[in-house]
Amino acid sequence: MNQPPASPSVSVDDFTTDFISRLHNSRGVDLESASDNDLYSALAWTVRKHLIDRWLVTKRVQRENKAKTVAYLSAEYLLGAQLHNMLLASGLGTVARESMASLGLSFDWLAELEVEPGLGNGGLGRLAACFVDSLATLDIPATGYGIRYQHGIFRQTFVDGRQVEQPDNWLELGSPWEFPHPEASIVVHFGGHVEHTTDAEGNDLAAWKPAWNVLAVPYNYLVPGYGTQNVNSLRLWSARATQSFDLQIFNSGDYENAVRAQTYAENISQVLYPEDSTPQGKELRLQQQYFFVAASVQEMIGQVGTSLDELRTLPQRVVFQLNDTHPVIAIPEMMRLLVDVYGMEWDEAWGITRSVFNYTCHTLLPEALEVWSVDLLGRLLPRHLEIIYRINDDFVAEVRESHPGNELLVRRMSIIQEQPFRAVRMAHLATVGSTKVNGVAALHSELLKDKVLVDFSNLWPEKFTNVTNGVTPRRFVKIANPGLSSLIDEAIGTDWVKDLSQLSRLEPFADDAAFREQFRAVKAANKTRLVETLRKRDGIELADDAIFDVMVKRLHEYKRQMLKVLHVVTLYDKILRGELDPESMTPRVVIFGAKAAPGYLMAKEIIALINAVGATINADPRVKGALYVAFPANYNVTLAETLIPAADLSEQISLAGKEASGTGNMKFALNGALTIGTLDGANVEIRELVGDDNFFLFGLTEPEVATLQAKGYVPSAYYEANASLKNAIDLIASGAFSGGNRQTFEGIVSDLLWHDRFLVLADYQAYIEAQNVVESAYADQDAWAKSAILNVARSGFFSSDRSIRDYLDRIWHTPAVPVQ
């Protein structure tokens, strides 16, 4: 079948010989003197060698075919650990394991030495990582472009239950997975001013006179497909000071300034902004955006050729996908290159530009839509601002023509906002400059059309489309859940890894008692594995005979970790009151994982509350093991790979109309957890597919939310009217979780009572009732297993391979180029 050829001629002995010679030749050590890092690096180099031939062939075939390429532009790639994925793609897993064993080394121990590249914040960055995996697997010529941050997402620690951020240092010991190419560096300019002249025909000629520049040094990473020879590239740019930038100063003897200049330039790729779902209007961030986009667009153009005839073929050669608004400055950059640098007429350049860009929107939160003040943008990229103005002039004229006299509409749609300050609305620029605009789940795309970008969808209905997100089954099932994978293999063969729709063939097995038994055994083993991991990693001691109730995602008020906290506090309160008997309850382990943006104070308060509630409950003998709260610090992709397969219950409880899609929700369903969720994001599609009986639905719908908010939402009324809600909030307010200090969580409590922007109190009762249904459903383990199997069998749609096929059909139209 479609198995990756287990790199034909590699025996364990060959692998071992190679590994030893790597140690010698690349690290200058022998087995006896090798450090951990020597061993890990040599292992990685030995594995990657077997993918490089495929990579070189892929590049040659794609170049010779002049294949149309997908250029995925993303400021984030939350890649996760590389070794396991490279082993899966190369088919060398068993060989590597046996080879290490033959040397008396533990493969698992070596694998755990890897520090994952955490070059993203959450769902958006992880989606990009899943997409490059699927593009490679589907033989689509594609390059992921992004930034090689020196420091990825911060490492979260807890001090007295409060989040303290530590710098991530994934490059400290070097990465064996990257291929730097300083010789292919690209100069990126900033600042200065624009000079205008007029040519013989009276056309305006613009010349940007930048004030400073940096070098963008590309680092390439292998992106191997699964079950194919195809290996694509991820190209991440690293900032380096140009010689001209600092040498002059240095030669003039001003060492201090020379060093400062260098530091300034190299700062650009120093650190990932840890903001999620809120933009950070900082100059350095705009520098990062332009830095990687300018280098990427220049490089693509270089591949196509810079004569006008060659440039005219751009739409046949490349399609750029803008992952949110972060890379949208690529649109004026393309115009600048075509018009100012290569001398194309504006109108023709605009036609080409619009046909090569497409934009994916990932949010519905108005506060998440990025704007750049005209001030800042004009200072950093003066020519781009002029270009944006001209694009806007033409666009606004088009709106006026189709809607004469409607100046209100013009103001709403303009790429430039006037209030509260003059700024460029990046989502508007993206929409005007793209062929297609997509949302990331069915409901999200509808709300995009009807609310966030309604004026644009009225003007250009055909521009809007949906591509529901997906997740790669390689990392999140095959690698993360080997037990389930073997069980599936035995039942339906191995094709599902490349064709996840095959999972539907598991349906009949839901009615097979022996299969259900095996399925439960796999889940139990995954729970035991998680218990061991958390013991080693965090010193947390969990019972494994409880329902594992898991809420992992970024900490954000709209995701409503607070609602989960209220559920936990309610259970605790009822135990204390004697309304719930801890001895007869199904033991429940509630597991949280969440990082908060460092400047998001309310989110950090909620983290402190979760830890405080956990500490109190876990230490209270009256609870008698019926309830336990675990909050391992530093949730990341690596932990997700152990956590998700162990979950029984997946918490997807955002306020309807706020979560664009979610992708964690898909990973849980695929690994046989049942969802408790609202009708939000892709939950809607999950429920439709897995069936109402296999999904615990609760909460207001998006229209109900809108109605309630329109008529005036009064959270305190829910508090007054609901005794158990009142008890839970009062317990928090009483200082029960803060050593009697009523001040500690006063901010959270008063926000809930008087603001509660995300209607936690309004959905509380429905949530508690749904959890009661969960509790009784879990009591019938066999029926639960049946539902869980049906969740797996019906989640094939959520493969990122399917998402990529949708992008191909609806947006990119890029043919596959199989590599022999």
**Residues binding ligand GP0 (CB under 6 A):** 121-124, 127, 276-277, 362-363, 368, 440, 469, 659-663, 681
362 in catalytic set: yes
User: At 372, phi and psi to the nearest 5?
Assistant: -120, 125
Nearer to ligand GP0, 386 or 801 (CB): 801
> 595 catalytic, yes or no?
no
Q: How far is CA 168 from the centre of its chain?
A: 17
Q: Least CB distance from residue 237 to ligand GP0, whole Å?
A: 21
Q: Which is nearer to ligand GP0, 33 or 280 (CB)?
A: 280
Q: Between residues 663 and 738, which has the closer beta carbon with respect to ligand GP0?
A: 663
Cα–Cα distance for residue pair 493/502, rounded to 1 Å: 9
CA–CA distance, 147 with 806 (Å, rounded to integer): 26
What six digits make up the tokens of 423? 């700024």
Strands 547-552 and 649-652: parallel
Distance CA 683, CA 685 (A): 5
421 secondary structure, DSSP code: S
CB-nearest residue to ligand GP0: 123
- The residue from 285, 667, 794, 802 that is catalytic is 667
Residues 167, 118: Cα–Cα separation, whole Å: 11
Q: Which is nearer to ligand GP0, 363 or 457 (CB)?
A: 363
Respond yes or no: is residue 84 known to be catalytic.
no
- C-beta of residue 146 within 8 angstroms of C-beta of residue 75: yes
Name the active-site residue from 554, 564, 595, 794: 554
Least separation in angstroms between CB 149 and ligand GP0: 16
Select 78 or 330, whichever has its Cβ closest to ligand GP0.
Answer: 78
Name 417's bridge partners.
423
Vertex 125 angle, CA 666 and 233, to 5° = 110
Minimum Å gap between C-beta 188 and ligand GP0 is 24
Kindly compute the dihedral angle of the four CA atoms of residues 566, 571, 577, 579, in this order, to the nearest 10 degrees. 130
The answer to whether residue 554 is catalytic is yes
Q: How far is the CB of 133 from ligand GP0 (least distance, A)?
A: 15
Q: Is 225 or 439 the residue whose CB approaches ligand GP0 more closely?
A: 439
Give min distance, CB of 469 to ligand GP0, in A: 5
Per the CB < 8 A criterion, the answer to whether 368 and 279 are in contact is yes
| CA dihedral angle for residue 558, residue 562, residue 563, residue 569, rounded to 10 degrees | 180
Least Cβ distance, residue 396 to ligand GP0 (angstroms): 27
Q: Quote the tokens at residue 207.
A: 């010349």
Give Dmax over CA atoms of the chain in angstroms.
91
Nearer to ligand GP0, 242 or 661 (CB): 661
Shortest reach from residue 62's CB to ligand GP0, in Å: 27
Is 570 in the active site? no
Residues 6+ apart with CB under 8 A from 721: none
Smallest separation, CB 23 to ligand GP0 (Å): 40
Q: Is 60 exposed, middle or buried (0-12, 13-18, 19+ CB in 10 A)?
A: exposed
User: How deeply is 372 buried, as exposed, middle or buried, from its count of CB atoms within 10 A (0-12, 13-18, 19+)?
Assistant: buried
Measured CA distances, 319 to 162, 163, 309, 391 (Å): 44, 41, 18, 20
Supply the minimum distance, in Å, between the C-beta of residue 650 and ligand GP0: 13
* Pairing of β 464-466 and β 547-552: unpaired
Cis peptide upstream of residue 420 (ω within 30 degrees of 0): yes
Distance separating alpha carbons of residues 686 and 486, to the nearest angstrom? 24
Q: How far is the CB of 583 from ligand GP0 (least distance, A)?
A: 38
* Catalytic annotation, pick one of 54, 240, 326, 559: 559
Residue of 435, 663, 744, 814 marked active site: 663
**Of residues 235, 425, 449, 553, which has the active-site annotation?**
553
CA dist list (Å): 155 to 79, 128, 457: 15, 21, 41
Q: Considering the complex, state which of residue 552 and residue 585 has its C-beta at the smaller distance from ligand GP0.
A: 552
Give me 424's structure tokens: 């460029």
Closer Cβ to ligand GP0, 38 or 324, answer by number = 324
245 sits in which H/E element:
helix 243-251
Q: What is the dihedral of CA 399, 401, 405, 408, to 10 degrees?
A: 0
| 193: annotated active-site residue | no
The dihedral built from the CA positions of residue 261, 266, 268 and 272, taken in this order, carries a sign that is negative
From the CB of 588, what's the least distance to ligand GP0, in Å? 25
Choose between 75 and 222: whose C-beta lies nearer to ligand GP0: 75
Cα–Cα distance measured from residue 644 to residue 665, given in angstroms and rounded to the nearest whole number: 10
Distance CA 146, CA 167 (A): 20
* Residues of the chain by 3-state class (helix, strand, coil), percent to 5: 55, 15, 30
DSSP state of 151: B
DSSP single-letter state for residue 735: T
Tokens of 302: 């270089």
Q: Catalytic residue, from 362, 444, 478, 556: name it.
A: 362
CA angle 60, 2, 63 (to 5 degrees): 10
Q: Which residue has the tokens 């999904």?
A: 695
Residue 134 or residue 663: which is nearer to ligand GP0 going by CB? 663
Distance between the two ends of the chain, CA-based, in angstroms?
Answer: 16
Instruction: State the nearest-atom distance from the C-beta of 260 to ligand GP0, in Å.
Output: 32
- CA–CA dist 778, 649 (Å, integer): 10
CB-nearer residue toward ligand GP0: 18 or 324: 324
Instruction: CB nearer to ligand GP0: give 414 or 683.
Output: 683
Smallest distance from ligand GP0 to CB 363, Å: 4
* Number of residues that make up the chain: 820
Q: Which residues are catalytic?
A: 362, 553-554, 559, 663, 667
